[in-house]
Amino acid sequence: MAILGGYFFRKQDLPVNYWIAGKGKSGDCARYESLGLSSENSSCWEIIRGDYEAIGKSLLKSIEIANKYKVFTEIDYLMKARDCGIFVKNRKYITFPLSAEERNFPLAYSMVIHGNIEMFERLLRSIYAPQNVYCVHVDRKSPKPFRSAVEAIASCFNNVFIACKSESVIYASWSRVQADLNCMEELLQSPVPWRYLINVCGQDLPTRTNREIVKSLMAQNGTNVIESDIPPTYKKKRWKFHYDVHEYVALTNQQKERPPIRSSMFVGSAYVLVTREFVRHLFVTAEIQAFFKWSQDTYSPDEHIWATLQRMPGVPGSIPHVPGRPRIIARVVKWSFEAGDMAKGALYPPCTGKYHHLICTYGTGDLHWIVQREPWFANKFDPGVDNIAVQCMEEHLRHRAIRGACRRA
């Protein structure tokens, strides 16, 4: 414990500058000084620990026109990435493994994106480690300047690449699954001996450092981290009827045949943390390939494909369904219809940012709640909505990463 300003804090709650300045007693931190993201005037420490005054000031600043954050454009990144050495240094990417565990347990990422170049780059920086490998799927519908900027950023790293096969991703359609499958197939060909694959979208941020994610996955003992629950009745029509796919997904009255699998259907999240053996199994197993084909005209197949495979006997890393077992939640999301007064039964407090498609794009007032949750990632962030929320989450993660490295120095 430490005492600052009359408050008691755990060591992991202290800002990274406290350690870098040599005030902490956790080893020589000088070599990590250049990696710090925090600024002298940052109030992120107070925001993360839930200080109402700091949160109020930041929320007010985020809506004042004079203080409105000017997001980086594709042109900005094309200019920044002209000199990769300067880009990597100025953007403070971590260019060496921060622990032996991380070096010996590389991860693979499938990143499915379609816009918001700055948020993509900040997500990449937040999850980047040189021993990992990153496949970026750019939506075929994305504007050419966006794709060019993504290519410029990726060109600065030998472990970041653009997926060769690009899908035109339509909300709630099979194309979202296919985008991840395209990356999965290419990642299996990578020389990086990655152990787990994680899929993310462009407005995610991790809530744990790379080392914390690695340690959590090591503790899984080869099992997948996939949300998988018994489907409520209203979700069953997602696969009981055929859906037409045009610019959107439309329900028809045509009933489908039963799924070509021996196990029951389950539902969960589109986002997973799965073993390499699981990914390889997808492409060589006839039953799974038939299941994929059958799912191509269902609604939001990404929310039942992975959940069902997680319960299917013989699938690497799968876990049988056990009634009463605690749910696995891999990603923090605030839905508008589940947020509100928790004293009156709401699952979580109101969004302090903005809702988009019923999902909260986080504001600074949401961060204290986020960092207390167990999941590995949080969705959604957008510097155009609240840059301070993005900045503070980044700083929080970086000081945790550096603090951990300092303790081992």
Whether 53 and 189 map to the same domain: the answer is: no
Whether 158 and 266 map to the same domain: the answer is: no
Please give the pLDDT value at position 214: 98
Whether 206 and 240 map to the same domain: the answer is: no
Higher per-residue confidence, 36 vs 125: 125
d(CA 263, CA 187): 28
Query: Letter for the amino acid at 128?
Result: Y
Which pLDDT band, with edges at 50, 70 and 90, does 7 fall under?
A: very low
pLDDT reading at 284 higher than 50: yes
Number of H helices, E strands in the chain: 16, 14
Please give the pLDDT value at position 5: 33
Whether 21 and 106 map to the same domain: the answer is: no
Give the burial class of 60: count Cβ atoms within 10 A of its Cβ; 0-12 exposed, 13-18 middle, 19 or more buried.
exposed
Please give the pLDDT value at position 49: 93
d(CA 299, CA 170): 11
In a domain, 320, yes or no: no
pLDDT reading at 12 higher than 70: no
In a domain, 250, yes or no: yes
Q: Pull the structure tokens for residue 180.
A: 């991840």
In a domain, 382, yes or no: yes
Q: Give 195-250 pLDDT, tens digit per residue.
A: 999 999 999 999 999 999 999 999 999 999 999 999 999 999 999 999 999 999 99
Query: Letter for the amino acid at 53?
Result: E
Query: Letter for the amino acid at 183?
Result: C
Which pLDDT band, with edges at 50, 70 and 90, does 403 fall under?
A: confident
Q: Give 299-330 pLDDT, tens digit per residue.
A: 999 999 999 999 999 999 999 999 988 888 99
Tell which of 58, 86, 104 closes a domain.
58
In a domain, 261, yes or no: yes
pLDDT reading at 13 higher than 70: no
Please give the pLDDT value at position 11: 43
pLDDT reading at 25 higher than 70: no
Please give the pLDDT value at position 39: 61
Whether 174 and 127 map to the same domain: the answer is: yes
Please give the pLDDT value at position 20: 40
CA 24 to chain centre: 31
In a domain, 50, yes or no: yes
In a domain, 220, yes or no: yes
Q: Please report, for residues 166, 259, 289, the alpha-carbon distance to residue 293 in angstroms, rounded to integers and kept in the order given.
A: 18, 10, 6
pLDDT reading at 282 higher than 70: yes
Whether 361 and 214 map to the same domain: the answer is: yes
Whether 52 and 199 map to the same domain: the answer is: no
Whether 143 and 17 map to the same domain: the answer is: no
Q: Which domain holds residue 34?
A: 2-58
Whether 165 and 267 map to the same domain: the answer is: no
Share of the chain above pLDDT 90, in %: 83
Which pLDDT band, with edges at 50, 70 and 90, does 65 fall under?
A: low
pLDDT reading at 280 higher than 60: yes
User: Which one of 167, 303, 394, 395 is the catalytic residue?
Assistant: 303
Whether 82 and 193 map to the same domain: the answer is: yes
Number of domains comprising the chain: 3
pLDDT reading at 16 higher than 50: no
Give the burial class of 20: count Cβ atoms within 10 A of its Cβ; 0-12 exposed, 13-18 middle, 19 or more buried.
buried
CA 19 to chain centre: 27
Give the burial class of 219: count Cβ atoms within 10 A of its Cβ; 0-12 exposed, 13-18 middle, 19 or more buried.
exposed
In a domain, 323, yes or no: no
In a domain, 64, yes or no: no
Q: Answer yes or no: 303 catalytic.
A: yes
Please give the pLDDT value at position 343: 94
Give the burial class of 258: count Cβ atoms within 10 A of its Cβ; 0-12 exposed, 13-18 middle, 19 or more buried.
exposed
pLDDT reading at 17 higher than 90: no
Please give the pLDDT value at position 354: 95
Which pLDDT band, with edges at 50, 70 and 90, does 261 fall under?
A: very high
15-29, 56-70, 282-296, 388-402: the lowest-pLDDT one? 15-29
Whether 149 and 121 map to the same domain: the answer is: yes
Whether 127 and 183 map to the same domain: the answer is: yes
